[in-house]
Structure 1
Amino acid sequence: MKRVSQMTALALALGLACASSQAAEMSQALTLQQLQQKQGAAIDTRQSAFYNGWPQSLNGPSGHEPSALNLSANWLDKMNDEQLTAWLQTHQLNADTPVALYGNETDMQAVKSRLRKAGLHQISTLSDALQQPSRLQRLPHFEQLVYPQWLHDLQQQKSVTAKPAGDWKVLEAGWGAPKFYLMSHIPGASYIDTNEVESEPLWNKVSDAQLKAMLAKHGIRHDTTVVLYGRDVYAAARVAQIMLYAGVKDVRLLDGGWQSWSDSGLPVERGTPPKVKAEPDFGVTIPAQPQLMLNMEQARALLHRQDASLVSIRSWPEFIGTTSGYNYIKPKGEIAGARWGHAGSDSTHMEDFHNPDGTMRSADDIAAMWKQWNILPDQQVSFYCGTGWRASETFIYARAMGWKNVSVYDGGWYEWSSFPKNPVASGERGPDSSN
């Protein structure tokens, strides 16, 4: 009996010591200046919308701490250990790197637990996080990437940051009939088929006259704010980019698409699209922003220049010519002189640009990825892919990042490869090949 008591006492003592040690560690906190002196990294554990610049309350601070990384607690159940290790390697964090977390207590604890499991030892909290609004960094146009709760609040007629100036509409974009939309969609959303904005044989955008008819049908003027989402983000981005070309001044994308709404647990509805009153007077001549869409000769003029980049948003196997990426595109290869802007594992994925929850990856990560291929914000930059969808998604991200001279080469590889005299490259190569 005595022996059991002694063991119990020892266990209690060890438990108290452990708890005391954990409490002491949790109480450790660094200011941003102290963290920088230690050459450490700040980690924002909030969702990416707040990291990007959306305030958590109507008049709250906007953005993230200087050079902070975003590792949202919401991603943890979507990241296995290998993916977290890859994230740490990408951001050059190792066991001895001091890191300081900020966000709410629950999120910080969750992230801290995973980081400790991944081998990081020096983990503290950032004591002065979000206390000095003037030093915070944000996407220059974070409002162009909306998040579910913002959209829900707008629909509920609550006060929101970056409220549309006038009339607004929500549209789900997808290819073909609205079969998934009919089963479940964002309340009040209409549906737009991508066939309304692009057509065969090359899947280039439809004529300006057809765009005018499409916009009239959906009740959209140049001063209507349009919020687009899709089961595939790049389907909505394709429609968004073409609407901007036409002249709709305020087009926004639901960051992460339908999946982000579904994950949020917000209300959904089913059934057919609501009846929309046609708006035949668009209000400006189409296209109001023709510079946003390049043709083949304009794209060719960007090649082999230091002040411009024609950027391939295709998978590496597509870029080096081991696959065309599409069953309806036979030629393999790439536009000779194009710079590789990354994409994903194949022609239907965009992992290189996405957080684990499908939202836009941080602007710093994207800019660093592009810089390796000499794709820079002060250049004239035009994105292309096979037929325009992936290119449109990166166009929207670059625009939100504040890149001023960006466009989409509409025809992409499908059009370029259909002209045998156009120069084509294939095989393994690096950034120097595009100079």
Structure 2
Amino acid sequence: MFVGDDPIVEAGTLAAALAAGREPPTLLDVRWRLGGPPGLADYRAGHLPGAVFVDLDAELCGPPGSGGRHPLPEPAGLQVALRAAGVRAGYPVVVYDGGDGLAAARAWWTLRWAGHRPVWVLDGGYPAWLATGQPVTTEVPAPVPGDVTVCVGGLPVLDATAAGRLAGRGGLLFDVRTPERYRGEAEPVDPVAGHIPGAVNLPTGVHVDEAGRLHDAATLTDRFVTAGLRPDTPVGAYCGSGVTAAHTVLALHRAGRTDAALYAGSWSEWITDPQRPVATGEAPG
């Protein structure tokens, strides 16, 4: 349907694929807001024809706790949710969100981690679809149950120990939160401010343009190289709870670094153990 290894699909390309009618992709609407409310109301007000709403918090992540605010989902429960949404083994999936790409990136990452391919992210999300004059609907589909089998390990994951080791022993761990949170000057969500010692700050917002669309591969590569990434450098990313960092992993994939790892527990898990060190200030520490 879509060619190449690019994990991003444009609205016009998706519209043409849907119009062709030959094995159209499964569409997952994962609109989401940090702290809620869930995106279900947005979905009900209008969505891509045939799209099924999937709740990022309740279905694509585990319950918050010692593993962070958005830990990895339990495989069996994830499989139930994906099958209910109509995801079929080996058949294409396109995910989209409200436009910033964060929830869609975490959904893309979760599907890929669960062993499903191919998966694409709609660049610019729902607003991009509207901007190109494509049709929307309020009709809620009843998808034929899928047969996808979740087999985790499709993408690399870091736990807290591995994240600390990557940051301190020759790898590159990107902290993709805002500079203020990285420096420990402000922490609006978690009870402890600062960053993982050795992590390098690269806010994920630098990867998109004014419309929230991901920059091209060459631009992304230049940004990552400027931040210190080299071809032989192991790389990973974390954020507050593992959602925003998935967007940086998506950008790394577009730039050709398909080995990039996600610290899914991220800062919200790191600080649950008071023995783990915390750095503050501009420098990685």
TM-score (norm 1): 0.59
Which residue in the other structure is 1:190 paired with?
52
Report the residue type matching 1:287 in the other structure.
Answer: V
* Correspondence 1:330 to 2:188: no
> What displacement does 1:177 show?
4.9
Residue 379 of structure 1, CA deviation? 2.1
Q: Which residue of 1 aligns with 2:114?
A: 246
- Alignment partners' CA distance in 1, 2:39 and 2:10: 26
Paired letter, 2:82:
L
The amino acid of 1:410's aligned partner reads A
Closer/same/farther in 2, CA of residues 322 and 362 from structure 1, 3 Å limit:
same
CA distance in 2, matches of 1:341, 1:177: 28
Task: Kindly report the root-mean-square deviation, in angstroms, between the aligned alpha carbons of the 2 structures.
Answer: 2.1
Taking a change above 3 Å as real, the CA distance of residues 177 and 262 of structure 1, as seen in their structure-2 partners, is: closer
* Partner residue, 1:255: 123
Partner of 2:173: 310
2:83 is equivalent to residue 227 of structure 1? no
Quote how far apart the aligned CAs of 1:158 are: 6.9
Maintained 8 Å contact 2:17/2:24: no
Quick one: distance in 1 between partners of 2:116 and 2:91? 7
CA distance in 2, matches of 1:256, 1:184: 16
User: Any idea what the Cα deviations from partners look like across 1:323-371, whole Å, max 9, x if unmatched?
Assistant: 1242xx111000111112223xxxxxx2x11112221123333333322
2:161 match: 297
Q: 2:219 aligns with which of 360, 365, 370?
A: 365
**Counterpart of 2:15 in structure 1: which amino acid?**
H
| Alpha-carbon shift at residue 426 of structure 1 (Å) | 0.4
Tell me whether 1:382 sits opposite 2:247 in the alignment: no
Partners of 1:244 and 1:256 lie apart in 2 by 20
Q: Is the partner of 2:248 in helix, strand or coil?
A: helix
User: Aligned partners of 1:233 and 1:406: how far apart in 2?
Assistant: 18
Classify 1:257/1:378 alpha carbon distance in 2 versus 1 (closer, same or farther; 3 Å): farther
1:302 match: secondary structure: helix
Q: 1:221 to 1:292 in 2, by over 3 A?
A: farther
Q: After alignment, is 332-341 or 363-372 more displaced?
A: 363-372
**Runs of 4+, deviation exceeding 6 Å:** none
Say yes or no: does 1:141 pair with 2:9.
no
How many Å apart are 1:207 and its aligned residue? 1.1
Change (3 A) 1:282 1:408: same
Instruction: Provide the C-alpha distance between the structure 2 equivalents of 1:152 and 1:325, rounded to a whole number of angstroms.
Output: 39
Distance 2:207 2:31 in 1: 20
1:183–1:270 contact (8 Å) kept in structure 2: yes
The match for 1:206 is: 73
Cα shift at 1:388: 1.3
Task: Give the Å deviation of 1:288.
Answer: 4.4
> Offset at 1:384?
0.9
Q: Structure with the greater relative contact order (CA < 8 A, sep ≥ 6): 1 or 2? A: 2
- Tell me the amino acid that sits aligned with residue 259 of structure 1: P
Match of residue 152 from structure 2: 287
Match of 2:120, SS state, is: strand
State the alpha-carbon separation in 1 of the partners of residues 218 and 107 from structure 2: 26
2:35 corresponds in structure 1 to none
Contact 1:378-1:403 at 8 Å conserved across structures: no
Query: Does the Cα contact within 8 Å between 2:168 and 2:197 map onto a contact in 1?
Result: no
Partners of 2:79 and 2:44 lie apart in 1 by 26
Unaligned runs of 5+ in 1: 1-53, 56-139, 160-165, 344-349
The one-letter amino acid of 2:167's match is: L
- Displacement of 1:242 in angstroms is 0.7
Partner of 2:267: 413
Gaps spanning 5+ residues in structure 2: where? 33-37
Q: 1:278 to 1:342 in 2, by over 3 A?
A: same
Identity %: 26
Does 1:154 pair with 2:17?
yes
Residue in 2 that maps onto 1:354: 208
Whole-Å Cα distance in 1 between the matches of residues 258 and 64 of structure 2?
A: 30
How many angstroms apart in 1 are the aligned matches of 2:254 and 2:27? 19
Secondary structure of the residue aligned to 2:30 is strand
SS at 1:379's partner residue?
coil
TM-score (norm 2): 0.88
* CA–CA separation in structure 2 for the residues paired with 1:376 and 1:171: 34
CA shift at 1:191, angstroms?
Answer: 0.8
Instruction: Pick the structure with more helix per residue.
Output: 1
State the partner residue of 1:393.
247
